């Protein structure tokens, strides 16, 4: 049932496209799902992609293109004229996907495409949706939904439903509204099916259902859908009028993007990149963090340079520089990751900043004690310098505790000031902790050696 894209398949398809071998192409892409076609498009240069799409019916083609990521959408749309975009893609899409696609066009071309739409209702929906800011619930909701007036009977509701059902690809829930379009509740198709035909909707529907405002934050909306296991969520305006619905597939995408963003931050990648992206894009995502690390390293070098004359006499102090720096980095990343995850899942902060810091302090103290003792045992066996043994273990203890508290504090403070706390993970926390670790290590060393 499942489709696995192979290198052989792509090669064969490319050859068929280049030789315009229609029979071969149709045979290869035959019954494929739009999501599979999107995967293939993703791997073709945009001119070849356009030639392939000629062999796909408009509905599938539009869904496949809607499934691509923004960068790929932009590239492929450049190959099409406004008329083609309107007729092949936009008119076959639900309003939310249509809007996403339009957002990838230059302003002028976008307006031209909208002007070319035959279906005025759709054009109106699209213009409505374009008003919502990126990142809000309004920006991912669709206008296609099924709603019935609470005053209808089951029989009339079914007639109304049959009319509306044409427009909507998949009905998850029937929304019940009053005569001012205000959302009252919902009714499942199942309930409609099992109720008497003369029953009144107002006596059947579920009151007080969850809804979000069009201006609410996308990530919060996705977390609500996840928490309450919702398949669709109605969106209302400031007056409580039903203006759209968000479906779970869009929420899943929002959740994935959020998780990936945090993962990339923790790994020192500043943009959403994939292994298939160009060398230039990958470099651009990585270099900023590396330069940050470089500057940190230079600062570290200046710290050590202060102790140059001491290192002449006690070069063994250099042995444990990487250990101290690495431990500081690791502990800091662990601490900040726990905070970032806690903030994302809303499990943090019940106990407040103080309690979290105290817990982190306890954990750090235990970890630090275990590591310090292990290192001390190693050094008493293998090292000839008592001063070194004391310095290293004491420094490690201090560094771990400091790194843990710092790693906890920074993302919490960032979050408080509405900066993405994930910024504080990965290379940033590592670099800062590296330098602080060195300062602590050499300060303790100077005391121990009486330097």
Beta bridge partners of 213: 236
Give the one residue of 324, 398, 405, 444 binding a second copy; rule: CB under 8 A.
Answer: 324
Give the one residue of 92, 136, 150, 430 binding a second copy; rule: CB under 8 A.
Answer: 430
Q: Which is nearer to a second copy, 116 or 248 (CB)?
A: 248
Helix (H, G, I), strand (E, B) or coil at 217: strand
Distance CA 427, CA 412 (A): 17
Distance CA 374, CA 389 (A): 11
Q: Are strands 174-177 and 146-149 parallel, antiparallel or unpaired?
A: parallel
Q: Is 366 in the site for a second copy (CB under 8 A)?
A: yes
Strand order in the sheet with 183-187: 146-149, 174-177, 183-187, 206-207
Q: Which is nearer to a second copy, 120 or 279 (CB)?
A: 279
Stretch that binds a second copy, among 17-25, 100-108, 128-136, 293-301 (CB under 8 A): 293-301
Q: Is 173 left (phi over 0), alpha (psi -120 to 50) or beta?
A: beta
Q: Is 345 in the site for a second copy (CB under 8 A)?
A: yes
Measure Cα distances from 347 to 267, 324, 339, 344, 351 in Å: 23, 32, 9, 8, 10
Stretch that binds a second copy, among 22-30, 99-107, 126-134, 275-283 (CB under 8 A): 275-283
Q: Which is nearer to a second copy, 105 or 265 (CB)?
A: 265
Helix (H, G, I), strand (E, B) or coil at 177: strand
| Cα 288-292-295 angle, rounded to 5 deg | 135
Task: Report, in Å, the least distance between residue 315 CB and a second copy.
Answer: 4
Give the one residue of 80, 175, 289, 406 binding a second copy; rule: CB under 8 A.
Answer: 289
Helix (H, G, I), strand (E, B) or coil at 284: helix
Stretch that binds a second copy, among 51-59, 98-106, 126-134, 370-378 (CB under 8 A): 370-378
Distance CA 250, CA 260 (A): 15
Site for a second copy in 404-423 (CB under 8 A): none
Q: Is 451 in the site for a second copy (CB under 8 A)?
A: no
Query: Comparing C-alpha atoms, which of 28, 86, 73, 78 is closest to residue 55?
Result: 28
Q: Is 5 in the site for a second copy (CB under 8 A)?
A: yes
Phi, psi of 273 (to 5 degrees): -120, 160
Q: Is 301 in the site for a second copy (CB under 8 A)?
A: yes
Phi, psi of 3 (to 5 degrees): -115, 125
Site for a second copy in 250-269 (CB under 8 A): 252, 255-256, 259-260, 262-264, 266-269
Task: Report, in Å, the least distance between residue 217 CB and a second copy.
Answer: 12
Give Rg (Cα) of the chain.
30
Which helix (DSSP H) or strand (DSSP E) does residue 72 occupy?
A: helix 70-77
Give the one residue of 22, 106, 206, 210 binding a second copy; rule: CB under 8 A.
Answer: 210
Q: Is 196 in the site for a second copy (CB under 8 A)?
A: no
Q: Which is nearer to a second copy, 85 or 232 (CB)?
A: 232
Site for a second copy in 211-240 (CB under 8 A): 211-212, 224, 226-229, 231
Q: Which is nearer to a second copy, 127 or 374 (CB)?
A: 374
Q: Is 155 in the site for a second copy (CB under 8 A)?
A: no
- Residue 14's Cβ-count burial label (10 Å; 0-12, 13-18, 19+) is middle
Helix (H, G, I), strand (E, B) or coil at 13: helix
Q: Is 434 in the site for a second copy (CB under 8 A)?
A: yes
Phi, psi of 243 (to 5 degrees): -115, -10
Give the one residue of 47, 319, 386, 419 binding a second copy; rule: CB under 8 A.
Answer: 319
Site for a second copy in 74-103 (CB under 8 A): none
Distance CA 235, CA 211 (A): 6
Task: Report, in Å, the least distance between residue 40 CB and a second copy.
Answer: 11
Q: Is 296 in the site for a second copy (CB under 8 A)?
A: yes
Strand order in the sheet with 232-236: 212-213, 232-236, 242-247
Give the one residue of 276, 386, 416, 419 binding a second copy; rule: CB under 8 A.
Answer: 276
Q: Which is nearer to a second copy, 106 or 322 (CB)?
A: 322
Q: Which is nearer to a second copy, 135 or 352 (CB)?
A: 352
Site for a second copy in 24-53 (CB under 8 A): 31, 33, 35, 42-43
Q: How many of the chain's residues bind a second copy (CB under 8 A)?
A: 122
């Amino acid at each position: 049932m499942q489709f696995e894209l192979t290198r052989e398949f792509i090669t064969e398809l490319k050859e068929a496209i280049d030789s315009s071998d229609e029979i071969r192409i149709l045979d290869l892409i035959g019954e494929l799902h739009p999501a599979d076609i999107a995967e293939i498009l993703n791997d073709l240069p945009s001119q070849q992609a356009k030639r392939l799409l000629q062999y796909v019916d408009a509905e599938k083609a539009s869904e496949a293109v809607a499934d691509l990521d923004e960068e790929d959408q932009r590239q492929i749309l450049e190959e099409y004229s406004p008329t083609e975009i309107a007729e092949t893609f936009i008119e076959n899409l639900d309003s939310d996907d249509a809007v996403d696609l339009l957002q990838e066009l230059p302003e002028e071309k976008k307006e031209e495409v909208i002007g070319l739409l035959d279906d005025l209702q759709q054009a109106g929906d699209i213009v409505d949706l374009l008003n919502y800011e990126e990142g809000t619930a309004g920006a991912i909701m669709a206008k296609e939904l099924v709603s019935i007036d609470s005053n209808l009977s089951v029989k009339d509701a079914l007639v109304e439903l049959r009319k509306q059902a044409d427009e909507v690809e998949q009905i998850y829930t029937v929304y019940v509204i009053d005569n001012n379009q205000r959302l009252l509740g919902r009714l499942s198709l199942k309930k409609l099916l099992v109720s008497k035909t003369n029953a009144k909707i107002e006596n059947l529907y579920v009151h007080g259902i969850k809804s979000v405002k069009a201006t609410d934050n996308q990530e919060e909306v996705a977390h609500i859908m996840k928490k309450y296991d919702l398949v669709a969520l109605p969106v209302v305006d400031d007056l409580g009028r039903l203006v759209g619905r968000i479906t779970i597939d869009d929420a899943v995408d929002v959740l994935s993007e959020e998780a990936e963003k945090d993962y990339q931050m923790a790994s020192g990648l500043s943009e959403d990149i994939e292994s298939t992206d160009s060398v230039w894009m990958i470099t651009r995502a990585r270099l900023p963090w590396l330069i940050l690390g470089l500057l940190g390293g230079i600062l570290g070098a200046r710290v050590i340079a202060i102790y140059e004359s001491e290192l002449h006499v006690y070069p063994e102090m250099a042995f444990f520089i990487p250990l101290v720096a690495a431990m500081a980095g690791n502990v800091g990343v662990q601490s900040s990751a726990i905070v970032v995850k806690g903030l994302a899942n809303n499990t943090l902060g019940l106990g407040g900043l103080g309690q979290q810091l105290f817990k982190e302090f306890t954990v750090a103290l235990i970890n630090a004690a275990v590591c310090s003792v292990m290192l001390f045992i190693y050094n008493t066996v293998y090292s000839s310098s008592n001063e070194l043994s004391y310095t290293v273990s004491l420094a490690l203890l201090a560094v771990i505790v400091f790194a843990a508290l710092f790693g906890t504090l920074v993302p919490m403070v960032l979050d408080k000031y509405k900066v993405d706390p994930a910024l504080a993970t990965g290379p940033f926390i590592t670099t800062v902790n590296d330098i602080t670790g060195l300062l602590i290590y050499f300060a303790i060393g100077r005391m121990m050696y009486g330097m």
